Chain A
């Protein structure tokens, strides 16, 4: 019997790279899911996302995002922004599997050229910066440009390399 979660693309990082793109989103499925596990950097950094169109990361200032920030050091916070040039996706990922970033992202409307591209995300990491705490975003983001998108581009905000991790894109079968 065919399953309902179909792998589209996967990138396994075993030596350092500047960024990772997961591509292949089209009209085959309405909704796509991305799984990240055990992702870490060459030096402590903050993980970011941009949406791709025709394989090219979009660097325009058309990203809005909002999330609840779950953490162990104090009251949970809210993080939000409009008209940004990236999606802030994590805080303080580290350099090994004990400080790695792990996440599930859903992608909506990406293939529809007349709709905005939306994502929801939930993630968890053990921060390796001064905060040294369990931390995770629960939220969503949108690229407010009505044109078809085909993937996600992952990179570190301070330009440190991605040193390890598995990035997988699935389609949710209709």
Chain B
């Protein structure tokens, strides 16, 4: 029997970059997508949050202030913290891309990106170690514009030296 989690594409960091575009991944074939994300900064001490923006149907990265997000930060040696924003120009994705072997990993569900009458919702869980401290993240977010979305950009204010994003569709078969 065929499975219902179908691989679509993978995207790798090459060189030293500040963003990774996963374009032309959403279509009318699936309503919900699952992405695995592992992105690492280019050098120790550069650890920074991973952010995302969506890519519209014309291939333009959406930088308008149309994103809301809420993230619970689970820290192994300190109290948990909340991070949230309304009308932001990007989404705090969670995870910190540190250049150590214990780095970061995450999974994100993306709902309804191809539906022009719905908002696109995201839901992420992440884990990372920064200087030996575990940081976990549970996050939700929304792009508050009903339009067709065809891709997603991951970006950082520093530089990534390696990493991979894999994209799957949850099929109805």
Name A's B-contacting residues (CB within 8 A). 2-7, 10, 35, 37-38, 68, 70-72, 75-76, 96-98, 100, 102, 104, 122-126, 133-136, 138, 166, 168, 170, 173
Q: Tally of A-B residue pairs with Cβ under 8 A?
A: 121
Query: A38 contacts which of B4, B6, B31, B144 (Cβ < 8 Å)?
Result: B31
CB-based nearest B residue for A97: B118
Q: Is the CB of A70 within 8 A of B139?
A: yes
Tell yes or no: B70 within 8 A of A by CB: yes
Q: Is the CB of B123 within 8 A of A75?
A: no
Q: Is the CB of B123 within 8 A of A7?
A: no
Query: B3 contacts which of A4, A72, A133 (Cβ < 8 Å)?
Result: A4
Interface size class of B (residues with CB under 8 A): 35 or more
How distant is the Cα of A11 from the Cα of B4 in the complex, in angstroms?
16
Q: What DSSP secondary structure best describes chain B's contact surface? A: strand
Query: A124 contacts which of B118, B121, B144, B171 (Cβ < 8 Å)?
Result: B121
Q: Is the CB of B82 within 8 A of A76?
A: yes
Which residues of B lie under 8 Å from residue A135 when comparing CB positions?
70, 140
> A3 and B5 in contact (CB under 8 A), knowing A134-B142, A168-B172?
yes
Shortest CB-to-CB span from A86 to chain B, Å, is: 23
How distant is the Cα of A70 from the Cα of B140 in the complex, in angstroms?
7
CB-based nearest A residue for B109: A104
Query: A7 contacts which of B4, B109, B117, B139 (Cβ < 8 Å)?
Result: B4
